[in-house]
């Protein structure tokens, strides 16, 4: 039997190796293919997901603060900025008002490839993450487009989903908006520190001028602080200045590298001087005006809080910077030092000046610091008017043809049944300091603030006390708001203005602004206006309709009435309780006022072109106003000095004007003056050659002496008798020797 051909092996020969198998290689090839297929599938899925995400993620609307701009308040004339109202202190400007070197400095600092990239920078994002992990400032890692997106459209959240959305939206925005638009919006929204959003506001905060005037050095510094204002604001300390210097050098070198700045120009650049950082703009005295402006925008123009805080309004006020500065200085220089006197610390001054016949508020002093005490002494504080209300009695009298030369008994005390009350059962009325005067005219009684005279006047005005409305009505006609319905004070009413006989002594408690307006009516010869602060309002984007004030004037008193009352009020200044105002050195009229127990003191007065009221009240309102080195404060003292100092500054350079001449209402009803005695010349004897023994008889006096009658002229005032009663307490306070007033509970008024 034949065996198969082939090599033969003995049993001792090793067995041949088996041939290699092909299955494992095939499995490996199969696995690689599947991996590639899976990866490709994942790629397709990722691409599809990215496409879906790109399609689904839309560019959002700008966030609430993206377009918000500060509303700016200007002094009268609209050129000098006073304050800003804002949630975001921003003032947007077009790219054309931003110098090219400022734009280039920004690009050198934040995104040198801005005009070439597609809005995103993966490497930049990676750098930002590393810097953030090291605790450094977070800005500077993204492109300008990404930063713009974060500030303009999105929130400041640092989440993966937010970053993914930012990446997609940045690409979309880069395709939808021009590079110039993105750069403009970025420059107007980025935060620069010091409360400043946007390049325009930052330029003013750091250098005090517009962005259009920024130098190369200033632009480079502003570009440097963007990365982290608290790290790079040079005013915050030497460490921050050193960092700002290094960062600024980086910016300038980048400008040279990019060809935006020559090496020669770079060598000339020095670190710029910056303004000192300032506190909140609403602090100090301006804060009171800012708050009043906001209230007028709300109540009169019916604007919303968002309109005011974010609308970019440009608000021109009636406030004269010269007059306002004068008000602040007048109070600061005349108000006594309050460091060592607890009571003096309670003194709160309110001042308002109004333009007669128009109502424009020229100056307003509501307090020394709104940030510490936001209660406005000029518009919110109520102060008992005291003897300032005697002016309203004079107006009511002139309306009834009662001459200002009418004479009354000025003795003190006197008793009137019309003034009987629970606090004064006998109806006693006394003068300030218990001074007594003889018979005197109304105008002299106003000058000396004689209570007993004005008690009699109010009895005459009210037909024997039957209806005590005349003084109240005259006050309302002049400009005081109507009486408050209850005992709760309000800005829109006058507390305590009633039909009581003592109303002529100023038992009501008006606001300073209302007294200024009432006296402005007299200065305007009877034409009453409504006080206002805003003359013009515009908005930067035109969303809010423009506003321009239209004043309304009402004639409430005849010119003859105000002419006679004004002449009487000038005597307060020339020879009365307010003679400290003679230092104004121009025609002025006014009236002092001191409330019961000296809890409030006033001087209200005017020239033909400006009326002003000054009121000082205590915080507690329970003690007499007494100040170290001055003693008891009355209307003829501290308030008059503040008023005079204010008016001097406010009217500096203004024309000196005279008041209208006195008309003499009611003078014809005065008793005629006593006849002037005729001088009789005795006959001259004719000499005769023959003397006679009979003496020549002398003629008897002709006429019978008559009782002297009142004259229409003001006689020389008799020297008043003065008593100085001891007051309870550890110290003796001596009232001023000049002037007269009322301290009885039933009839409270003082000069």
Q: Give yes or no for a contact between 315 and 293, defined as CB atoms under 8 angstroms apart.
A: yes
338-359: burial string, b at 16+ Cβ within 10 Å, e else: eeeeebbebbbbbbbbbbbbbb
Residue 463's pLDDT is: 80
How large is the average pLDDT for residues 645-656? 97
Q: Is the model's pLDDT at 440 over the cut of 50?
A: yes
Round the average pLDDT of the chain to a whole number and report it: 80
Cα 344 to Cα 334: distance, rounded to the nearest angstrom: 13
| Confidence category of residue 739, pLDDT binned at 50, 70, 90 | very low
Cα 714 to Cα 670: distance, rounded to the nearest angstrom: 13
Place of tokens 């203005």: 497
Residue 184's pLDDT is: 92
Residue 618's pLDDT is: 77
| Confidence category of residue 629, pLDDT binned at 50, 70, 90 | very low
Q: Write out the DSSP string of 48-110.
A: HHHHHHHHH--PPPPPTTTS-B-EEEE-TTS-SEEEEE-SS-B----GGGS-HHHHHHHHHHH
Place of tokens 């949630």: 87
Residue 621's pLDDT is: 42
| Confidence category of residue 261, pLDDT binned at 50, 70, 90 | very high
Q: Parallel, antiparallel, or unpaired: how do β-strands 553-555 and 527-529 relate?
A: antiparallel
Cα 531 to Cα 358: distance, rounded to the nearest angstrom: 8
Q: How many residues does the chain have?
A: 751
pLDDT tens-digit series, residues 206-235: 999 999 999 999 999 999 999 889 899 999
Q: Is the model's pLDDT at 200 over the cut of 50?
A: yes
More confidently predicted of 364 and 52: 364
DSSP designation for 355:
-
Q: Is the model's pLDDT at 721 over the cut of 50?
A: no
Per-residue tokens: 515: 């007294």
Residue 11's pLDDT is: 46
Q: Is the model's pLDDT at 279 over the cut of 60?
A: no
Q: Parallel, antiparallel, or unpaired: how do β-strands 71-74 and 81-85 relate?
A: antiparallel
Residue 310's pLDDT is: 80
pLDDT tens-digit series, residues 352-378: 999 999 999 999 999 999 988 899 999
Instruction: Give the residue from 195, 235, 130 showing the smallest Cα distance to 140.
Output: 130
More confidently predicted of 131 and 280: 131
Identify the sign of the CA torsion 502, 429, 400, 516. negative
List 320, 387, 449, 502, catalytic entry: 387
Q: Bridge-partner residues for 750, per DSSP? A: 594
| Confidence category of residue 4, pLDDT binned at 50, 70, 90 | very low
List 91, 110, 380, 567, catalytic entry: 110
Q: Is the model's pLDDT at 45 over the cut of 90?
A: no
Instruction: Give the residue from 342, 339, 336 showing the smallest Cα distance to 620.
Output: 342
More confidently predicted of 308 and 36: 308
Residue 271's pLDDT is: 97
Residue 249: is it exposed, middle or buried by C-beta count within 10 angstroms (0-12/13-18/19+)? middle
At how many degrees (to 10) do helices 238-257 and 216-225 cross?
Answer: 110
End-to-end CA distance of the chain: 160
How large is the average pLDDT for residues 699-718? 39
Instruction: Give the residue from 294, 312, 314 showing the smallest Cα distance to 66.
Output: 312
Residue 715's pLDDT is: 44
Residue 337, SS3? coil
How large is the average pLDDT for residues 19-25? 54
Residue 281, SS3? coil
Q: Give yes or no for a contact between 635 and 750, defined as CB atoms under 8 angstroms apart.
A: yes
Q: Parallel, antiparallel, or unpaired: how do β-strands 407-409 and 439-441 relate?
A: antiparallel
In Å, the largest CA–CA distance within the chain is 231
Q: Is the model's pLDDT at 697 over the cut of 70?
A: no
Q: Which residues contact 425 (CB under 8 A, 6 or more apart)?
A: none
Residue 364, SS3? strand
How large is the average pLDDT for residues 331-359? 80
- For 100-109, 610-619, 741-750, which range has the lowest pLDDT when averaged over its residues? 741-750
Per-residue tokens: 423: 């606090």
Domains of the chain: 90-268 (1.10.3810.10), 316-394+408-533+551-558+575-654+713-751 (3.40.710.10)
- Helix, strand, coil abundance in the chain, percent, nearest 5: 40, 15, 50
Return the number of other C-beta atoms located less than 10 Å from residue 588's C-beta: 25
Per-residue tokens: 497: 């203005």
Per-residue tokens: 448: 């000396």
Q: Where are the alpha helices (DSSP H) in 269-362?
A: 286-299, 305-310, 321-334
Q: Is the model's pLDDT at 742 over the cut of 70?
A: no
At how many degrees (to 10) do helices 144-152 and 100-110 cross?
Answer: 100
Q: Parallel, antiparallel, or unpaired: how do β-strands 439-441 and 313-317 relate?
A: unpaired
Residue 744's pLDDT is: 31
Return the number of other C-beta atoms located less than 10 Å from residue 688's C-beta: 7
Q: DSSP strand E in 192-271: where? A: none
Per-residue tokens: 467: 């209806």
Q: Is the model's pLDDT at 648 over the cut of 60?
A: yes
Per-residue tokens: 532: 């206002």
Q: Is the model's pLDDT at 732 over the cut of 80?
A: no
Cα 183 to Cα 185: distance, rounded to the nearest angstrom: 6
Instruction: Give the residue from 565, 576, 486 showing the smallest Cα distance to 526.
Output: 565
Return the number of other C-beta atoms located less than 10 Å from residue 295's C-beta: 14
Q: Parallel, antiparallel, or unpaired: how do β-strands 439-441 and 527-529 relate?
A: unpaired
Q: Is the model's pLDDT at 176 over the cut of 90?
A: no
Q: Is the model's pLDDT at 707 over the cut of 50?
A: no
How large is the average pLDDT for residues 169-173? 69
Q: How far is CA 394 from CA 406, 444, 568, in A?
A: 11, 12, 9
Helices (H) and strands (E) in the chain, counts: 21, 20
Return the number of other C-beta atoms located less than 10 Å from residue 560's C-beta: 18
More confidently predicted of 630 and 295: 295
More confidently predicted of 177 and 683: 177
Q: Is the model's pLDDT at 700 over the cut of 50?
A: no
pLDDT tens-digit series, residues 443-497: 999 999 999 999 999 999 988 767 789 999 999 999 999 999 988 889 999 999 9
Q: Which residues contact 50 (CB under 8 A, 6 or more apart)?
A: none
| Confidence category of residue 277, pLDDT binned at 50, 70, 90 | confident
Place of tokens 């946007």: 198
- For 151-165, 175-189, 506-520, which range has the lowest pLDDT when averaged over its residues? 151-165
More confidently predicted of 68 and 380: 380
Place of tokens 């007051």: 727
Q: Parallel, antiparallel, or unpaired: how do β-strands 313-317 and 71-74 relate?
A: parallel
Q: Give yes or no for a contact between 517 and 531, defined as CB atoms under 8 angstroms apart.
A: yes
Residue 748's pLDDT is: 43
Backbone angles phi, psi at 109, to 5 degrees: -80, -40
Residue 90's pLDDT is: 82
- The yes-or-no answer on residue 387 being catalytic is yes
Cis peptide, bond prior to residue 702, ω within 30 of zero: no
Residue 59's pLDDT is: 52
Q: What is the pTM of this model?
A: 0.73
Residue 41's pLDDT is: 64
Q: Give yes or no for a contact between 384 and 507, defined as CB atoms under 8 angstroms apart.
A: yes
Residue 307, SS3? helix
Instruction: Give the residue from 404, 560, 389, 552 showing the smallest Cα distance to 475.
Output: 389
Per-residue tokens: 493: 């009413």
Residue 672's pLDDT is: 82
| Confidence category of residue 599, pLDDT binned at 50, 70, 90 | confident
Residue 589: alpha-carbon gap to chain centroid: 27
Backbone angles phi, psi at 352, to 5 degrees: -140, 135
- The yes-or-no answer on residue 555 being catalytic is no
Q: Give yes or no for a contact between 110 and 199, defined as CB atoms under 8 angstroms apart.
A: no
Residue 236: is it exposed, middle or buried by C-beta count within 10 angstroms (0-12/13-18/19+)? middle
Q: Is the model's pLDDT at 170 over the cut of 70?
A: no
What 3 state SS string does 514-563 have? HHHHHHHHHHCCCEEECCECEEEEEECCCCCCCEECCCCEEECCCHHHHH
In the chain, % of residues over pLDDT 70: 70
How large is the average pLDDT for residues 54-79? 71
């Amino acid at each position: 039997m034949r065996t198969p051909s082939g090599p033969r092996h003995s049993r001792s020969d090793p067995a041949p190796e088996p041939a290699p198998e092909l299955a494992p290689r095939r499995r490996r090839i199969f696995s690689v293919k599947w991996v590639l297929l899976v990866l490709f599938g994942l790629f397709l899925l990722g691409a599809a997901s990215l496409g879906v995400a790109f399609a689904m993620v839309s560019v959002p609307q700008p966030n609430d603060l993206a377009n918000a701009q500060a509303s700016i308040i200007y002094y009268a004339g609209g050129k000098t900025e006073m304050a800003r109202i804002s949630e975001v202190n921003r003032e947007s400007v077009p790219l054309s008002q931003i110098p090219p070197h400022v734009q280039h400095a920004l690009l050198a600092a934040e995104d040198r490839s801005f005009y070439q990239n597609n809005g995103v920078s993966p490497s930049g994002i990676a750098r930002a993450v590393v810097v953030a992990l090291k605790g450094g400032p977070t800005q500077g890692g993204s492109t300008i487009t990404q930063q713009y997106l974060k500030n303009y459209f999105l929130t400041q959240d640092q989440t993966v989903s937010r970053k993914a959305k930012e990446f997609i939206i940045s690409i979309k925005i880069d395709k939808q908006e021009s590079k110039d638009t993105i750069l403009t919006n970025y420059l107007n929204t980025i935060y620069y520190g010091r409360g400043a959003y946007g390049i325009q506001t930052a330029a003013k905060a750091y250098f005090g001028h517009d962005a259009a005037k920024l130098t190369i050095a200033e632009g480079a510094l502003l570009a440097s602080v963007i990365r982290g204002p608290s790290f790079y604001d040079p005013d915050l300390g030497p460490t921050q200045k050193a960092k700002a210097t290094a960062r600024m050098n980086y910016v300038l070198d980048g400008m040279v590298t990019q060809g935006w700045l020559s090496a020669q120009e770079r060598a000339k650049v020095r670190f710029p001087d910056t303004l000192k950082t300032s506190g909140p703009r609403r602090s100090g005295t301006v804060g009171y005006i800012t708050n009043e402006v906001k209230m007028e925008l709300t109540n009169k123009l019916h604007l919303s809080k968002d309109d005011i805080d974010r609308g970019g309004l440009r608000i021109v006020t009636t406030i004269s910077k010269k007059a306002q500065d004068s008000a602040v200085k007048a109070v600061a220089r005349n108000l006594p030092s309050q460091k060592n006197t607890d009571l003096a610390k309670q003194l709160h001054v309110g001042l308002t000046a109004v333009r007669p016949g128009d109502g424009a508020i020229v100056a307003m002093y509501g307090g020394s610091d709104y940030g510490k005490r936001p209660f406005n002494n000029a518009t919110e504080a109520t102060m008992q008017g005291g003897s300032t209300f005697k002016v309203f009695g004079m107006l009511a009298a002139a309306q009834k043809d009662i001459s200002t030369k009418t004479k009354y008994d000025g003795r003190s005390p006197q008793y009137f049944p019309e003034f009987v009350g629970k606090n004064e059962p006998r109806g006693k009325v006394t003068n300030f300091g218990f001074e007594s005067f003889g018979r005197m005219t109304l105008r002299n009684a106003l000058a000396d603030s004689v209570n007993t005279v004005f008690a009699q006047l109010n009895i005459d005005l009210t037909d024997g006390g039957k209806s005590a409305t005349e003084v109240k009505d005259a006050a309302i006609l002049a400009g005081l708001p109507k009486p408050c319905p209850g005992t709760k004070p309000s800005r829109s009413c006058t507390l305590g203005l009633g039909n009581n006989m003592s109303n002529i002594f100023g038992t009501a408690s008006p606001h300073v602004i209302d007294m200024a307006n009432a006296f402005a009516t007299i200065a305007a010869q009877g034409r009453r206006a409504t006080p206002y602060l805003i003359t013009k309002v515009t908005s930067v984007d035109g969303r809010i309709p423009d506003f321009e004030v239209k004043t309304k004037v009402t004639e409430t008193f005849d010119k003859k009435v105000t002419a006679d009352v004004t002449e009487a009020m000038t005597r307060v200044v020339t020879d009365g309780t307010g003679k400290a105002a003679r230092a104004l050195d121009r025609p002025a009229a006014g009236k002092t006022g001191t409330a019961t127990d000296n809890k409030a003191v006033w001087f209200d007065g005017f020239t033909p072109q400006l009326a002003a009221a000054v009121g000082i009240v205590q915080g507690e309102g329970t003690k007499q106003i007494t100040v170290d080195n001055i003693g008891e404060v009355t209307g003829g003292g501290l308030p008059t000095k503040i008023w005079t100092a204010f008016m001097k500054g406010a009217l500096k350079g203004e024309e000196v004007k005279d008041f209208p001449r006195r008309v003499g209402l009611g003078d014809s009803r005065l008793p005629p003056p006593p006849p002037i005695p005729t001088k009789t010349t005795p006959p001259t004897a004719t000499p005769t050659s023959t003397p006679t023994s009979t003496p020549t008889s002398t003629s008897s006096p002709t006429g019978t002496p008559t009782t002297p009658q009142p004259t229409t002229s003001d006689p020389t005032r008799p020297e008043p008798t003065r008593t100085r009663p001891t007051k309870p307490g550890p110290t003796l306070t001596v009232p001023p020797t000049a002037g007269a007033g009322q301290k009885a509970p039933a009839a409270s008024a003082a000069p």
